[in-house]
Amino acid sequence: MAANPAAEALLGASTRKLQGLGPEELFPGAEAWVRLLSHALEAGQPFTEREVPLERPGLEAAVVDCTVTPVLDERRATGLVVEMVPVDRHRRLAREEQALEQGQTIHLLLRGLAHEIRNPLGGLRGAAQLLERELGDPELREYTQVIIGEADRLQALLDRLLGPRRLPHKRPVNIHEVVDRVCTLARAEAPAGVRIRRDYDPSIPEVVADPDLLIQATLNVVRNAVQAVGAEGRITVRTRVQRQVTIGQKFHRLALRLEVIDDGPGVPPELLDRIFYPMVSGRAGGTGLGLSIAQSLVQQHGGLVHCTSRPGETVMTILLPLEDSE
């Protein structure tokens, strides 16, 4: 068996790993499709099948259009050429491009809004401090302390909305050192009933990134998973290489795929398209800033964060280019 780079990326395995696998192993869970392949080989007749579900171990399921052409030798089929075209690729690329544009637009709006709020907020705090000095009654000073405390809280919220103000200082980074640090911090914060496991691909090369910003982005995603599972649950942090990846409108031959998988209740469908917006949260009392900041930090590295969710399994995926990362 031979597979081109696009097929390797689609199936999530190299040609060497695919060698010797039968149709049932290549296409698990698609018995009807396997029967069609066998029939094409026996009859020597080509066919096209639309919207075939493709289960991929370790990757999210895909839907493909398939064209099967027998390879004939003296009227006998000796093999098959299978062409698979992901039908959801264009929809995914459109969603990713829209997410990038919306993220940039929202960030600009927030910067403008924060600037308009910051100056009067500082004046309000300063006036409260001056008033406190003039008040002799300790009970009245309690009110000025409330004003000062709320001004500080709003200032901290503005700082979180804007995220880190410095530009990334990029250098080659071992992603597993980043994940180890994040898991250590997350375990210290998580309830005793939450288990965090790691599933690494040790062959992943270094990614060119700012380690501090990458730790913050990954920690925000893992913290979101911890909050999602509650007092008890399982979280898996998985790293893989993904080939032939388009992020936004830029093609990359290789990318890092970092997945944070939790077994919580899932993201409500009505929030799934807005989960990376600031101030959007499915949790009572949540600020909705953690994932928004993570998205912004990853985008500064030419990457993207996206989410798939169903009850019992939510997958937050960080994609970072392993080439042209500068």
H helix or E strand, kind and range, residue 66: strand 62-73
* Secondary structure class of 305 (helix, strand, coil): strand
241 and 322 in contact (C-beta within 8 Å)? yes
Whole-number Å distance between alpha carbons of 246 and 203: 21
Residue among 211, 315, 300 nearest 260 (CA) = 315
Query: What is residue 286's predicted lDDT score, i.e. its pLDDT?
Result: 60
The alpha-carbon radius of gyration of the chain (Å, integer) is 25
Query: What is residue 326's predicted lDDT score, i.e. its pLDDT?
Result: 43
Token reading at 270: 């009505």
Return the ∠ at Cα 162 (arms to 159 and 168), rounded to 5°.
110
How far from 212 is each of 25, 93, 177, 208, 299, CA to CA, in Å?
Answer: 41, 29, 11, 12, 15
Query: What is residue 325's predicted lDDT score, i.e. its pLDDT?
Result: 44
Token look-up 């913290």 returns 223
Position 218, amino acid: T
Position 57, amino acid: P
What top-level class would CATH report for the domain 5-87? alpha beta
Q: Which fold has domain 171-321?
A: Heat Shock Protein 90 (3.30.565)
Position 312, amino acid: G
Counting beta carbons within 10 angstroms of the beta carbon of residue 121, is it exposed (0 to 12), middle (13 to 18) or buried (19 or more)?
A: middle
pTM recorded for the entire structure: 0.61
Q: Where are the domains of the chain?
A: 5-87, 91-162, 171-321
Walk along the chain (326 residues) and give the pLDDT tens digit of each residue.
677 777 777 777 777 777 777 777 777 666 766 777 787 888 888 888 777 777 776 666 677 778 888 888 777 777 888 888 777 666 666 666 666 666 667 666 766 777 677 778 888 889 988 988 888 788 888 888 889 988 888 877 677 666 666 678 899 999 999 999 999 999 999 999 999 999 999 999 999 999 999 999 999 999 999 999 999 999 999 999 987 777 877 888 889 999 999 999 998 888 887 888 776 766 655 666 788 888 888 988 999 998 888 899 999 999 999 965 44
